[in-house]
Amino acid sequence: MRILVTGTAGFIGNALALNLLERGDEVVGIDNLNAYYDVQLKRDRLARLADYRGFTDLRQDLEDRETIASTFRKYAPQRVVNLAAQAGVRYSLTNPHAYISSNIQGFMNILELCRHHGVENLVYASSSSVYGANTRMPFSVHHNVDHPVSLYAATKKANELMAHTYSHLYGFPTTGLRFFTVYGPAGRPDMVMFRFVQWIAEDCILHALPLGSILRNQSAVSNNLSYFIQNKRIQTRIISSLYCPSFFNVKGKCNDFAQNFMFKNRDNSKYNLIPIRNCLWLVYVR
């Protein structure tokens, strides 16, 4: 199967492309290698894919409608997975236009091209950020998400509305995956897991918060891939070509990452870390 994956130099996109190539699919990868974080890390990720004969690496911007259109015409993908986006909540405070260009205009181009080129299915990345000011726990796809608290979240909510509209109007299936904090090999360096490691390396002090004061779901990237490929609950949405605009939360257990982190750092006692049961965020204190 020929699958177009956007964001193949990104953390999740690269892991997905590698998985698809290993199972024998052909992957057409698009990425613009932007400088939001270390470009060398992105190049290193792409190097993992370079030896696969089924991989095509394209350096393109989703906002460039004509260039992306030529890619659809040339490669005629059967399925599309859109993981390219301007990520990060804090960055949207200082660079808001990047989010509109990539997450709104770029996604619009993907929707239109999927429509006009007979793509059987579109899977795209949404975010747990869409829950915004919601206080009802645990988060559910059945909850109202009309109160985003960042521009990033607003663009992801907009993506869900746009995809739902295209599925309704033109009858092709779209599936949005609301990713919660994702961690794993070659992860994004701006994510808190790698910041913890950095702070420990710099001999900072980490204190655990009181039990239950802050909870956060984490998800391993290897588990996320099952939502694209193996998960039976949504397999019909992703693998089949049935009309179905859908959303799913993609998250792990609350304590998975925190326990692994605290038991595997170099000296638990030195950093005042304690075993926890409910995945507390750790506070960085200089």
Residue pLDDT, tens place only, 165-206: 999 999 888 888 888 777 777 777 777 677 767 776 777 666
Residue 35, Cβ density class (10 Å: 0-12 exposed, 13-18 middle, ≥19 buried): exposed
Residue 136, Cβ density class (10 Å: 0-12 exposed, 13-18 middle, ≥19 buried): exposed
In terms of pLDDT, which residue wins out, 70 or 246?
A: 70
pLDDT for res 132: 77
In the chain, what is the straight-line distance between the N-terminal and C-terminal CA atoms, in Å? Answer: 51
pLDDT over threshold 80, residue 85: yes
Q: Write the CA distances from 58 to 14, 32, 116, integer angstroms.
A: 13, 8, 21
pLDDT over threshold 60, residue 23: yes
pLDDT confidence band for 104 (50 / 70 / 90): very high
Separation of alpha carbons 258 and 183, rounded Å = 11
Catalytic site includes residue 36: no
In terms of pLDDT, which residue wins out, 123 or 215?
A: 123
pLDDT for res 75: 98
pLDDT over threshold 50, residue 283: no
Separation of alpha carbons 213 and 185, rounded Å = 28
pLDDT over threshold 70, residue 61: yes
Locate 213 and state its tokens. 């004061």
What number is the average pLDDT over the span 24-47? 95
Q: Of 91, 152, 166, 183, which residue is the catalytic one? A: 152
Separation of alpha carbons 105 and 112, rounded Å = 11
In terms of pLDDT, which residue wins out, 32 or 148?
A: 32
Tokens 């030896």 correspond to: 51
pLDDT digit string, tens, across residues 232-281: 443 434 333 333 444 445 444 444 444 444 434 444 444 444 333 333 33
Query: Could you tell me how far CA 119 lies from the centroid of its own chain?
Result: 21
pLDDT over threshold 70, residue 162: yes
Query: Could you tell me how far CA 212 lies from the centroid of its own chain?
Result: 27
Nearest to 152 by CA among 98, 207, 219, 223: 98
- How many Cβ atoms are within 10 Å of 90's Cβ, its own excluded? 10
pLDDT for res 144: 75
pLDDT for res 146: 80
Non-local CB neighbours of 197 within 8 Å, separated by 6+ positions = 265
pLDDT over threshold 70, residue 154: yes
In terms of pLDDT, which residue wins out, 268 or 222?
A: 222
Answer whether 157's CB lies under 8 Å from 145's CB: yes
pTM of the model: 0.78
pLDDT for res 229: 57
pLDDT confidence band for 223 (50 / 70 / 90): low
Mean pLDDT, the chain, whole residue set: 77
pLDDT for res 206: 60
Tokens 């913890």 correspond to: 196
pLDDT over threshold 60, residue 41: yes
pLDDT over threshold 90, residue 208: no
